[in-house]
């Protein structure tokens, strides 16, 4: 008889754990052991060790808590666990998954999942997502791919996945790449493999505070001067198009870049920030010439997390530029 792999299930809360509350609505109540028990087929996939470090709606999760989750996963891997499944609310899955992708260096699979519908809702997707996530985490093919997100039977790479709808079970997409695989007929099928990016130590503490600003038509940048005084260690700017702002805002961004690392991302859902196409005032060439760092393929949400981790321990402009060079 083939020995089943050993998986660690960590539940952080979210819709998948929520049941009706006396005050109205649904709130996180179920733990990891209860979720595992609700899907008997999991016993055929792996031996599962289940823990519930948090029972929170995902908007209340903090990056520092995900750093602790990464440490728990690394400790479990060192003790012989073969893969990990992290269960949480879908609102912040794309951020949590990217943090784990940056923090967990082991090649063993890490899979993040959740649900768009509560367990008492008709058509609840939680059980199917848990089973699919376990099958991916238990598969040899998932090794070396970094952290993956599995929902709706689709397998997404953490650096590309985004939540794109507030209600549908098909809410998660990877606009720049498409899913790298799917779970069908009870097994994962991978269509593509993405290379691992360099990781950062999980023991370095939570990310430093980084501001995230989305640029809008007519914004003159008056908020920028306030950021250093508010305690931010860096900033990420989601520019228009391929990385652009109004001409009058460019000098203000250059001044901010002299006081803290500033990363230029795009507010567009897919595609890289440009580096050498547009040359007018406020364009990407102008802004990079003023010291801003291009985010490459990373969204503003993910660029913020990478910058915050890089700035731990006194890292600065050059350290940040080197980290983002991997995503160009």
Residues serving a catalytic function are 15
Interatomic CA distance for residues 190 and 283, integer angstroms: 38
Question: Closest Cα to residue 165, out of 93, 74, 233, 240?
Answer: 93
3-class DSSP state for residue 18? strand
Among the listed residues 165, 306, 303, the one whose alpha carbon sits nearest the alpha carbon of residue 238: 303
Tokens of 189: 């099928």
Whole-angstrom CA distances from 14 to 32, 87, 273 are 11, 8, 33
Contacts of 280 (CB under 8 A, 6+ apart): 247, 286
Per-residue CA distances from 186 to 3, 46, 132, 139, 259 (Å): 18, 13, 8, 11, 53
**CA dihedral for 285, 288, 294, 299, sign (positive or negative):** negative
Cα dihedral 28, 34, 35, 38, rounded to 10, equals: -130
* E strand or H helix that includes residue 10: strand 6-11
Residue 310's SS3 state is helix
Helix%, strand%, coil% for the chain, nearest 5: 35, 20, 45
Largest CA distance in the chain: 70
Cα distances from 101 to residues 146, 155, 186, 230, 302, in angstroms, run 5, 14, 25, 29, 11
Bridge partner residues of 56 (DSSP): 13
């Amino acid at each position: 008889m083939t020995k089943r792999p050993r998986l660690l299930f960590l539940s952080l809360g979210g819709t998948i754990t929520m049941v009706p509350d006396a005050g109205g609505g649904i709130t996180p109540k179920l733990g990891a052991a209860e979720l595992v028990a609700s899907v008997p087929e999991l016993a055929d996939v792996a031996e599962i060790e289940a823990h519930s470090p948090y029972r929170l709606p995902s908007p209340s999760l903090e990056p520092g808590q995900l750093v602790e989750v990464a440490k728990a996963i690394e400790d479990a891997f060192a003790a012989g666990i073969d893969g990990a499944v992290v269960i949480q609310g879908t609102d912040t899955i794309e951020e949590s998954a990217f943090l784990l992708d940056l923090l967990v260096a082991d090649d063993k699979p890490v899979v993040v999942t959740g649900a768009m519908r509560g367990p008492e809702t008709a058509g609840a997707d939680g059980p199917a997502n848990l089973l699919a996530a376990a099958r991916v985490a238990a598969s040899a093919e998932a090794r070396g791919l970094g952290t993956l997100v599995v929902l709706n039977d689709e397998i997404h790479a953490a650096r590309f996945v985004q939540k794109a709808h507030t209600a549908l079970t098909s809410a998660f997409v990877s606009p720049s790449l498409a899913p790298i695989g799917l779970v069908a007929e009870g097994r994962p099928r991978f269509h593509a493999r993405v290379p691992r990016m360099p990781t950062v130590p999980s023991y370095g503490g939570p990310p430093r505070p980084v501001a995230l600003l989305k640029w809008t038509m007519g914004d003159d940048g008056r908020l920028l001067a306030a950021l250093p005084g508010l305690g931010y260690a860096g900033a990420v700017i989601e520019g228009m198009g391929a990385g652009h702002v109004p001409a009058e805002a460019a000098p203000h961004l250059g001044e901010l870049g002299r006081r803290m690392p500033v990363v230029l991302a795009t507010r567009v859902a897919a595609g890289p920030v440009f580096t050498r196409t547009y040359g007018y005032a406020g364009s990407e060439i102008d802004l990079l010439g003023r010291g801003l760092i291009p985010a490459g393929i990373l969204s503003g949400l993910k660029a913020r997390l990478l910058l915050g981790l890089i700035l731990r321990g006194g890292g600065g402009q050059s350290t940040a530029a080197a980290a983002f060079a991997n995503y160009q």
